[in-house]
């Protein structure tokens, strides 16, 4: 009985960690463009650090054929772009103020964050 309780607690801890605490690795863009892979339900990388006050180019490579992965939205900038399958698509974003900006697919299954500092 004790073991089951411990396992239950461990499982709860894992779920809390995964949904609320875990932060994917950040990638810093110092110069030029960054490539974001779109596959298996995630953007890789999904957290991108950018410099404030400078436009940025983000290049997407979509590997996921599902329609869900076909569009990327940067709602803070009213940017909505179609992503062709197995081809690079560069998206130029305007100079940004410091802050965090989300990007996602239309149904928010794919999600990423721009960390502008």
Two tokens at 79?
Answer: 């940017």
Question: Which one, 42 or 49, has the nearer CB to Cu ion?
Answer: 42
**30 contacts 96 by C-beta, under 8 angstroms:** no
Sole binder of Cu ion in the list 9, 13, 109, 117 (CB under 5 A): 109
8-47 positions binding Cu ion, by CB under 5 A? none
Nearest CA among 77, 111, 114 for reference residue 98: 114
Distance (Å, rounded) from C-alpha 105 to C-alpha 1?
44
Residue 105 in the binding site for Cu ion (CB under 5 A): yes
Two tokens at 48?
Answer: 């991108």
Residue 68 in the binding site for Cu ion (CB under 5 A): yes
Shortest Cβ 107–Cu ion spacing (Å): 4
Question: Which one, 52 or 109, has the nearer CB to Cu ion?
Answer: 109
DSSP code of residue 110: S
Point out which residues bind Cu ion (CB under 5 A).
68, 105, 107, 109
């Amino acid at each position: 009985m004790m073991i089951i309780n411990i396992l239950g607690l461990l499982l709860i801890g894992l779920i809390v960690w995964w949904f609320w605490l875990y932060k994917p690795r950040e990638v810093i863009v110092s110069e030029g463009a960054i490539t974001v892979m779109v596959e298996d339900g995630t953007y890789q990388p999904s957290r991108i650090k950018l410099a404030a006050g400078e436009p940025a180019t983000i290049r997407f490579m979509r590997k996921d054929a599902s329609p869900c992965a076909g569009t990327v939205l940067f709602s803070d900038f009213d940017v909505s772009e179609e992503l062709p399958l197995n081809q690079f698509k560069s998206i130029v974003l305007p100079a940004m103020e410091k802050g965090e900006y989300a990007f996602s697919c239309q149904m928010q299954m794919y999600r990423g964050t721009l960390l502008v500092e």
